[in-house]
Structure 1
Amino acid sequence: MNSILTIKDPKPLTSNPTEAETTVRDVVLSERLGYSKPADIRKLIKRHASALEAMGSLRQSGVMIEAGKGAKRQVTEYSLSRAQAAFIISKARTPEATNLSIVIAELFAMHSESKLAPVDCAAAAELDAIAARAKARAEVHALGPEGWAIVRSFKRSSRKRRKIGALPRR
């Protein structure tokens, strides 16, 4: 996905050197998806926060911006993982997002037809972990609203957290 998002602009999306994985800043993703204001994509991120958190921590930080006639105010800026960025791309309703969603869908089709293979054991293990999390989320979804209530209460608990999307121990 990184190469797809850099077709128009040779600059990399962004990588925070203090974090272990590459992240995409919301303002950069907003620009690449054709939004005129970063606030538009932030509304989309807030609306889908629970789904994004199921893919990992939703990283956010306070950033000072200049608004109007020199007034400064703090806004929340998000840094999304690649999976979270792909999810937001699928929810955005811009021509650029539609184009990227088609590419993601084509890659998914290639994967499901076994035309893509992991390059090493670590990649194979990661694919297995993704499949396990998807299965756990499907089990929670099958429980209906009660299942989601269990997951929400588990996420708020002070106990040691397991991967989001996995059922809490009973």
Structure 2
Amino acid sequence: MTTVNMDQNESTFNASRGEAGESFALAIREVEGEPRILDIDLATRLGFAEPRMIRKLIKRHLDALDRLGMRSTVERIVKGRPSEEFYLNRKQAIFVTGKSDTPTATEITIEIIERFDAYERAAAPILAPAAQAAMIDDEKGWKTWLDLVRETRILKGRRAAIALWETSPLPSLPAEGDIGQPGAAQLRAFLTECTEQAPGEKIGADWLYMAYMRWCTANDLRKASQTWFGRHVPVEKQISGTVRYIGLRLREQWEC
């Protein structure tokens, strides 16, 4: 359990307060470098008539909440009586929302996820292009960027790490369907070795892919799927019943 002085350690990410739950946007509060949601903010958004009553719900489930992350609390004196505020991480906030049994619990769960995701995207460091170029000049620069991405993944999560990678000079991340495919370099090598430009001629997509499969086998290379292959061949296509590549033919030794 951590107890912090909020005057020194708390900052608020895009907070917006309103009188009713419907007009209240959940605020992500950074507590000692970690994003959190204040318990009464969550209660207000869930529509509790008396927001502080959510603390009774939290205290009934402290054992479970402690399994979802370190407990973060702040002790205050309110009207001469001690009061304990709870700052919930993503998993804890979702857990408490589910236990609230309020009509808007599902909607608020989605909002919690979106708010934390937005925080992680905003928290990813963005360097100026000149600084990026200076860091990528040599092998050490590549390693520095990869270390930054890895550390961001640990501290801020997967989305923040992806956001950082996409602003860096590192090679573009593959699309989801490209993961596990051999890559563009192999495709270029095949096209260079096995095909040639031939204005006015056409070659069927299936025919070209069969040649590619033979080339991979001959060179003991992993084969791309036909879907990926067809999507990445950088040649104009004619589609009329069957797909044909325009202005391309196989070199003689690779014809069937």
Q: TM-score, normalised by structure 1?
A: 0.49
More strand by share: 2
Q: TM-score, normalised by structure 2?
A: 0.34
Q: Which has the higher contact order (CA 8 A, sep 6+)?
A: 1
Which one has the largest radius of gyration? 2
